[in-house]
Structures are given as C-alpha cells and as structure tokens.
Structure 1
Amino acid sequence: MTPPEIRWAGPRALLIQLESLESVLTVHAHLQQHPLRGQVDVLAAARTVLAVFDSGTNARAARAAVAQVDTAPGGGAAAAGDPVRIEVVYDGDDLAEVGRLTGLDPDGVIAAHTGQLWTAAFGGFAPGFAYLVGENESLTVPRRSTPRTAVPAGAVALAGNFSAVYPRRSPGGWQLIGRTASRLWDLDREQPALLRPGTAVRYVAVRESVTLTTPATDAAPSPATPEEAGPSLEILAPGPQSLIQDLGRPGLGDVGVSKAGAADTASARQANRLVGNAPGDAVIETILGGLTVRARGELTVALTGALTPAGISGDDTPRPAPMCSPFALHDGETLHLDAPDAGLRTYLAIRGGIDVPEVLGSRSTDVMSGIGPAPLAAGTVLPVGVVDQGRTVGAAEPSTLPATVRSGMHEPVLLRITGGPRHDWFTDESLRALTGQSWSVTAESNRIGVRLAVGEQDDAAPGTTPGPTTEKTGTPLQRLTADELPSEGVVAGSLQVPPSGLPVLFLADHPVTGGYPVIGVVVPEDLGVAAQLAPGTRLRFQAVDPENLQPIPRPHQHPPTRSS
C-alpha cells in the first residue's frame, strides 16, 4: 500500500492527495463511515479529499491515522443501492459539437451517455451539483471556450470526463447535451441533494417534451408582519446589507453547501453572551451602518463588532446606544446605526434570539448559494424567541475588535498565515512577496472573500511600519506552472490565487471547492479580524508555525507547510 500524500490546508484541515478518482472515493467513504476524532467535514474532489477538524490538536492526531487508510480502489467506495434514474430529452445546444469533438454523431453521443453507469464522485460549485464519472471516457470533451452567462436549471452537460445536471440557473462553461425535469436539489426532501458521492446514476433518453420550472429559491420565507402578542423587531431600513446569521451549517460540503454563519464569530458570540443567549442563537449582521429597527414589545439588545455610533429615539429624549453592553429597547423605540468608526461588520443580538425557520439546521444566510433567510428588507418583522430563564444578561465587556483594526488606515493590519496546500506552485519570489509586502482590501470584497490589491514592499520587520526610503510598489504573485489545478476542497481563510496574481481571502460563504492554487491559509483565530477589514484597509501577512502559531523568524520568507 502506497501511503497518500498529505498536505495541510491551515492548522485544522488535511488535504489528502491521491492517485486516482477511485482512490478518492475509497478514502472518502472510509472517513464518512469511520469519522476521526473532531472531524467536522470531509469533501471529495477530483484527486483529493479534504478533511476538516475542530482543532489543530485533532487535526495533527488525524494525520497519522489518515496515513494508514487503505487507498486501494474498491475499499467501500462502490455505489450503493439501485441507480437513480434521470430522464433526459437530448436536444442540448452543444449536442452536435460534442458529437464532432468525440467523433460520434448526435445519436452516438446519446447512446454513449445512456449506455454506461455513472457514479457521483464529488460535489461542489452549487448546492446539489454533482460531478458524475462514467465507466469509460468516450465522452471526454473540453469546456466551452466562452462560458454561458446563464445555464438553465435541469441542463444536462459534459466537461472533461464528467457529466452533471445543473440544479439551478447559473453561469457555466460545460457542453450542454440535454435537459431533465429531475430535481437535483429540493429542500422539501429529507435529503435535499438527489446525488451524493457514491450514488449511481442511469441516464434514460425520453422523447416527450419536458417542462422545466426554475426551482424555488433555497432561502427561507421572509418573516411576515405578525399580529402576535410576542415581541418582535421591525426593520425600517436595512442599510447596505443586513443578514440573519448564526454559527452556520458545517458538514454539508459534499453537496456544495458552505458553512456560512457569522463572518466574525467572536463578535456574534459576544453579542449573544451580553443578552444572555446561547452562542449559536441568530443575530443580525450588518455592514457600514444605516440599519434602522423598531422594537415591538420590550427588548434587551446588544451591539458588537465594528465600532458603530448608534442612537435610540422614541417618546423620550433621544439617547446614545452603547457598544458591547446590553441595553433596553422599549416598545416603539427606534435604534439607528451610523457608519462605523472602525471595522466593517456590526452584530445586533436580541435577548431570546431571532426566531426564523431553520434551513438545513441553521438560520444563517448564505449569500453565494441563496440558502437561508432572505436579506433583510424594509418592512420585515423578525419574531423573537422565548427567553431561556436559566440565562442571565451579561455585563459590559471590552470590544473584540483588534487594536490594529481600530487604528484605521495608519498602519497595516496583521493576519497570521500558515502554508497553503499549493504553496509549491509559486516562485520563491512570490512566496517572499506574500509576507514581504503589504496588500489592500478592494471594494469588490464580500462575505465570499476579501479581494486584495498590491500595496508596498519593504524589508522592515513584520508588524512595523516601513520607512520612507524602504517602500516600493509590490508585485502580484506568480506561479511556477501554468498547469490547470483540478477542483479541490478549500477552507475559510484560504488565500486562493487566480491568474491575476491577486489573492482572494475566503470568508464564511466561500465555495466549497476551488480551481486556483492556495498559497497560504489565514489561521482560524484571525478570520474575525479579516471579516472586519473595510475597503481601503492595508494588511500584511505574517508566517507562523502551524504547531503553535508563533511567528517564524524573518529568514524564512514564506509560511511553512507540513506534508508527508
């Protein structure tokens, strides 16, 4: 048995490199059936399995166990149960082109597609999207040179040696050969995803026309305006963006669903702690001020995160609302948040929690997949849950916002990183530049990721401001190879580098798989800091030892990685 190559994707995740898709299915099935201590998620991809753990200690212990897993194909990865039948009308726009690329006429393409058993190998891209591998490679075709801006839900497609069905309308570059009425993703089912890794699929050609309807949004219904006795909170103005968030929905990466949840979990937990809620109760996450709400009933609330001036108005004299301290919002009173003095995201917790329906076990909004409650809009009324009488309201606390964020634009914010699983895809100069120059946050950043532009390069020690004689313009990162990286699992904090050479730092709503190499990973302890970086903020990366998160001496210009 050849042991798998194990790469670290940050201090809490293992990227297991394997020789074949069959070995991927074997290792994935083993970890699903025999989860390791602290295992949070396990995600199959084309040539890798990503295993995520709840702590660095459990991840380090798991490494030795993973190295002993039998990777030989057939070790439990075979498709289980009867094949799922997917009826297809073969009239896709690219059917003739696929025939030309494969040397088959359209009838030959149909025969090849229906004449073999397909197996769901891995998920990603979108909830319910599954990459299916066939019994042969007769239908191997490249992606379109120009992706479509919109592929309809139910489109049956080919790319590489994979087949797939688009669960929802979305952009895509696959070759379209047909359409189906089968619902790949349906939240009304006990298992929303029709196909999971290991599921067998049989495509069946049908002649009758199929009427396709765009699947309903995966968002929970927006709360109505109830005429009920219980307390609630009315949204008068949502500001630039206000979302309901809790601690997310981990463990669903295999079906293309990211964890989501509060981008700054420390601030969300603090807000709940101050009003006496459980850590995972739902709160409002809002950016850049502008949120205005009205109390319906007597409420106890708290504001945390970005340092945000806020005021309360009503029948009595207007008064300021404190940060990081519980306060009363009386029936009919209005709370308004101004633009933050420092930071980006403010959290508003209500004693009792926001009691909207859960979607896949969470009340969080995932802006990329559309799962969870809809973004808050004027007129929305949020019901408040029953207060757990065993929990007491907390006392005022210091802000969790780091001093470096509070200092504004005067000096770069420092984020600690460990080596990424594909750091060896980059030149030595780029590995040095990653930590040897500053970067700036662009306005295109969101909950999916912080998009960066180059800043200044200098030779000063980490955490110090370079002098005027040492500053010079930084450079984008360059790769050693132009090879295409097969899609593989990524974790929050990953610094993925597209062809532009400008890193994207993945946050809570990041895609579960990515096709660009990851040069480094921001440690989980600093993700809340990253989530508070407003556009224009400068930052620097500091390489730390993945074992103890202590800074690496300056001669080591790039973050270390551990692999077998």
Structure 2
Amino acid sequence: MRQVRSLGARAVRVRVVPDIVEALRARLEAEPLPGQRELVPGGDTVTILFDGPRSAADGARLLSAMAEPEPVAVAGPLVGIDVVYDGEDIGALAELLGTDADGVVRMHTGREWHVGFLGFAPGFAYLRSAEAGPEIPRLAAPRVRVPAGSVALAGEYSAVYPRVSPGGWRLIGRTDAELWSIDRDPPALLVPGARVRFTAVRDRVVAAVPPASAPTVPAPGRGFVVQNPGMQALVEDLGRPGLAALGVTRSGAADRGALRRANRLVGNAEGAAAIENAGGGIELVAVGDQVLAVTGADADLIVEAPDGRWRTVERGRPFALDDGDHLEIGPTVAGLRVVIAVRGGVDVPEVLGSRSADTLARLGPPALAAGAVLPVGAPPRTAVGFPETEPAVPDGTRPTVLELLPGPDADLFPDTAFGDLLDGAWTVTSSSDRIGVRLTGSPLARAAGGVQSQALVPGAIQVPPSGEPVVFLVDHPTTGGYPVIAVVADRHLDLLAQVPIGAEVGFRRATPPE
C-alpha cells in the first residue's frame, strides 16, 4: 500500500490514489481483517476501525504487506435523482467555466456519479465521477444556511445537502429526494459504492424536511420532571457504533467511564441511558421512588423532600429518592460533566439503536428543557453496587496533562511541530463542546498544502489554518479536511471530556500500545 499509518491505538489509515479507494473498501468489506469493526472511506484514504490496539497493530502489518487493488468500475445500485437546476450559483459558475446555465446542466447530468464516501453530516455523500470534469472552486465565504435538498458542486465532487446546514459549495439546483431517514434501512439513500444519475426536471420540487428524530414522550409512571436543565443536559448511553460509513459517529457519553460507574452503582447494565449534565445546575423531581448515582464532575448534591427537609448525598454511591423528592446538583467545582444514572435507565425511544443525543448529527432526544418529563425503565433484577471513590477530575488550578500518540499526517508539519505541541501552553476556549475541545495558544506551524477529507476518531487533534489545535470529542464529524498531528491516548479521553472551560492543558508523548 502507498501509505499505512496509525490513527490512535484502534484505527489504521491507508492512503492510496483516489481511483483505488472504492476498490480497497470493497475488498476489505468482502474480506475483513481480524478485529475489523468499521470502514470509513475518504477522499484518498480508507480508515479501518478495529476492536482494540492489538488488532489494529496486526491489521497495520497486514495492510502494509497487501498489494494495492486494481481500480474497479463501480457497480453498486443506481439511484436516480431529479433536479430543478435553478441554484443561485449556477449563473456565476457558468461564467467561470466559460459556458451558460444549460452547459452546467449538461456537465452535471451527462456523467454518472458514484458515492466516494459520506461525511460532514448524516447522509451527506461526496459524489465522484469517473469521467473527467472541471475542478469547481468553493465559495470564498461559506453560507450560514444552505437549504435541505440543495444540489451542489465543489472541487471534483457533487453532493446533495440532506438537511439545512452551513456550506461553501456552489449551489446549482434542488431536489425533493430524501437523502436521510431514520425510518429506512439503511437510513442513507446514498451509500458507499452506489451510483447516481441526475436528471433535469422542470416541475417545482420542494426539499423534504426530515421529521424530528425523537417523538413526544408520554408522562411516565416512574421517572423525573426536569425543573432546571442547567447549562446543558442530555440523555446519553454508550452510543451507536457501526454507522461511521454513513456519516454518523458513535457519540454517546463524553466520559464513558463515569457512565459505566454510575450504572454499576445502581445495578444497571453498563450502557444504560443516563443524564449527562455540563457544568452542573440541573434540578430533577422524582415521579415515583427511585435509586440514583452521580459520577463524573464534582458538585454539591442536595435532596429536598416535599415537606422541606433536606439532606446532602455523595458522588460515587447509590442513594434513594422518594416520590416528589427534589434533587439539585450545584455548579461543578472540578471537572465539567456530571453523569446521573437511575435504576432502570432513562427510557426514551431509541434512534438507530441508541438513546444518545448526538449534537452534531442531531440524532436522538433533544436537549432537556425545563418541564421535560423523563420516563425510567423497569428496575433490573440485580443488586446495587458498592460505593467507590470517584477518580480525580481537573479543577483548573494546574494544567491537565494528556498523553498523545503521533498522528498520521506528520509529513504535513515542520519537524518541530509535534515538539511545539508537547511544549506549548494551551487553554480551553469557550467555543468547546461535545464536538471538540478548541485550544488557544502559540499557533503551530503547518507546511503548505492540505488533505482530502479523511476519517476522524475521538481524541484526534486537527490543526486548521489558524494553527490552534482542535481536539475532537464524541460528537466529532466522521471525516475532516485538516491534517491530524496527534491523537489523545484512549486512557485519557474521559479526562479530556472533564477539562473545564478556561483551564490549561498540556501534552506528553504516550508509550505506544503493545
């Protein structure tokens, strides 16, 4: 293979010429490597996600010894998409290409396209054509809002926006084809390997707006009423793995260890849905008798009974709430994210196999709001867990040091860049969220050039043109177009999720996994 490099401890990225991406993806799909879990194609890469570090290391050796496949003609299912070619950029694009609007339409409809990969948003397929065409420059300033169903061009690609989103591609038309539906299997209309033909139509079409992903939840027999959600409160479990090739990341709890501990304490399965509350401040009223546990960030926990009596409870140990009891979690004094588990689990409907809220993909239940009602499932037939001491979480008084593995794009940085990342003083900015931790500090130098869109993993550190790193968390996009200089070690991902806004972060090189 042309280039085989590790992307953290559990993923391997293979870079090939773009014409071979589909052939390599198809081969690995037909003949998976030991421990292979997912395949994520990119512009000139295929990334293989494995079940553990040993499988990834063995897979890297097998891939390095593997001969590159020959390019293959894409022979997947043919999807027809009707388009009204009245996009607001079609005139300017025609002038740029030295033709007219009809010429742009002929260029777009006269070629067969195929799905190279999905990314940016669920169901957003990057379409390539085997037939040569012009390179289309992106807009100098991306639009804040691109309507759902917009048909667009950029670089060598065409795409249809599956939902309203920002974007810098040239808009040439619109369609009413539903690109993404959670009620369909698979939910993406366009999947890797599919072929696409666009047809010009004159009838007016209106882009379909996907329905809300979470239906209304009826009042429970047992559960909670949210009196105050705090800064942000979400329902999270261990996420929805296996959908990265469709543009959906795993998502789930940002501090997965805290979720597992809280569920163990109340006797749940480790992946039961719980509440993740950023910054504290959440207030809940019990409907029926409950058993809870709180883990993760440190905050005062106060329970007030309906008659006004109150008591404090501790993190890391189960406690009871009687019907009508009010639980108030104070502002976090160390760490960022509090996890609240209830015996029986939060019983909201599943979306694509998970109850997690994915803030980037907009999947799962919405963020909790005052007045929201959360049902709780049937209690398990297991005992509650023994109390345990909660791991220390960052309090912001000193830098939080995270271990790093070198990233796969080292050749796109000067020789000193990785050392500068390790030696730098970095501060977490207020624009950080579940998608990524944005750092400010002395900008890192970058070599000229960039990368085509390629797979990302939690902990991947991208360096955009500003030189200030972005460390991705659980709601990261499945692919990204900036080079990855390093990846946070798996054992420090939960710690990363607990670093408060405004705190300092440092890095050190991790010992490579055995």
TM-score (norm 2): 0.97
Structure 2 partner of 1:412 = 399
Alignment match, 2:471: 505
Q: Residue 181 of structure 1 is aligned with which of 176, 181, 187?
A: 176
8 Å CA contact retained: 1:304, 1:347: yes
Q: Specify the alignment match of 1:233 in structure 2.
A: 224
1:209 matched to 2:204? The reply is: yes
Tell me if 1:263 matches 2:254. yes
SS of 1:541's equivalent?
strand
CA 1:315 to 1:113, structure 2 compared with 1: closer, same or farther past 3 Å? closer
Counting matched residue pairs gives 513
1:72 paired with 2:69, answer yes
After superposition, give the CA deviation of every residue in 1:509-534 in whole Å (9 maximum; x if it has no partner).
Answer: 01111111111100111000000000
Distance in 2 between the 1:381 and 1:28 partners?
Answer: 44
Return the offset for 1:222.
4.5
Report sequence identity in percent.
45
**Residues 292-371 of structure 1 aligned to structure 2 (within 5 Å):** 292-315=283-306, 317-371=309-363
- Are the equivalent residues in 2 in contact too, given 1:143–1:159 (CA < 8 A)? yes
Contact 2:430/2:502 (8 A) holds in 1: yes
Aligned to 1:495: 461
2:430 corresponds to which letter in structure 1? A
Equivalent in the alignment of 2:108: 113
CA distance in 2, matches of 1:496, 1:204: 38
Q: Distance in 2 between matches of 1:114 and 1:208?
A: 17
CA RMSD of aligned residues (A): 1.5
Greater CA drift, 34-43 or 123-132: 34-43
User: 3-state SS of the aligned residue for 1:60?
Assistant: helix
Per the TM alignment, residue 32 of structure 1 is displaced from its structure 2 partner at its CA by: 2.0
1:555 is aligned to: none
Quote the residue 1:435 is aligned against: 422
Amino acid at match of 2:141: T
Q: Which amino acid aligns with 1:304?
A: T
2:47 matched to which residue of 1? 50
Post-superposition Cα deviations, 1:29-62, rounded to whole Å, max 9, x if no partner, equal 1222222232232100110111111211110111
> Which of 480, 484, 490 is the aligned partner of 1:514?
480
How far does the alpha carbon of each residue in 1:406-426 deviate from its partner, in whole angstroms, 9 at most, with x for none?
xx2332111000001112222
Residue number in structure 2 paired with 1:469:
none
Paired amino acid for 2:215 = P
The reply to whether residue 104 of structure 1 matches residue 99 of structure 2 is yes
How many Å separate the matches in 1 of 2:14 and 2:7? 10
SS in 1 for 2:416: helix
The CA distance in 1 between the partners of 2:434 and 2:360, in whole Å, is 8
1:107 offset after TM fit, Å? 1.3
The separation in 1 between residues aligned to 2:470 and 2:391, in whole angstroms, is 24
Is residue 2:443 matched to residue 1:476? yes
Find the aligned partners of 1:102 and 1:304 in 2 and give their Cα distance. 59
- 2:14 counterpart residue number: 16
- Residue aligned with 1:153, SS: coil
Name 2:22's counterpart in structure 1: 25
Mapping 1:122-141, distance limit 5 Å: 122-141=117-136
Cα distance in structure 1, aligned partners of 2:33 and 2:268: 31
Residue of structure 2 equivalent to 1:220: 214
Tell whether 2:241 aligns with 1:275.
no
Note the alpha carbon deviations across 1:304-359, whole angstroms, 9 max, x for none.
00011110001352000211000001111010000112100000000011111111
Structure 2: distance between partners of 1:262 and 1:453: 25
Once residues 287 and 30 of structure 2 are traced to their aligned partners in structure 1, the CA distance between those partners, rounded to angstroms, is 48
2:392 corresponds, among 390, 401, 418, to 401
Aligned to 1:468: none
Q: Measure the CA separation in 2 of the matches of 1:104 and 1:310.
A: 68
Residue matched to 2:140 = 145
**SS of aligned partner of 1:295:** strand
| Mapped partners of 2:55, 2:145: distance in 1 | 42
Q: Which runs of 5+ in 2 are unaligned?
A: none
Distance in structure 2 (CA, Å) of the matches to 1:86 and 1:148: 24
In 2, Cα distance between the equivalents of 1:95 and 1:437?
Answer: 46
Change (3 A) 1:111 1:437: closer
Give yes or no for contact 1:101–1:141 (8 Å, CA) kept in 2: no
Cα deviation, residue 70, structure 1: 4.3
In structure 2, what is the Cα distance between the partners aligned to 1:529 and 1:135?
A: 45
In structure 2, the partner of 1:525 is 491
Structure 1 partner of 2:158: 163
Q: 1:4 aligns with which of 2, 5, 9?
A: 2
What is residue 252 of structure 1 aligned with on the other side?
243
Distance in structure 2 (CA, Å) of the matches to 1:223 and 1:348:
20
TM-score, structure 1 as length reference = 0.89
Contact 2:177–2:208 at 8 Å: present in 1 too?
Answer: no
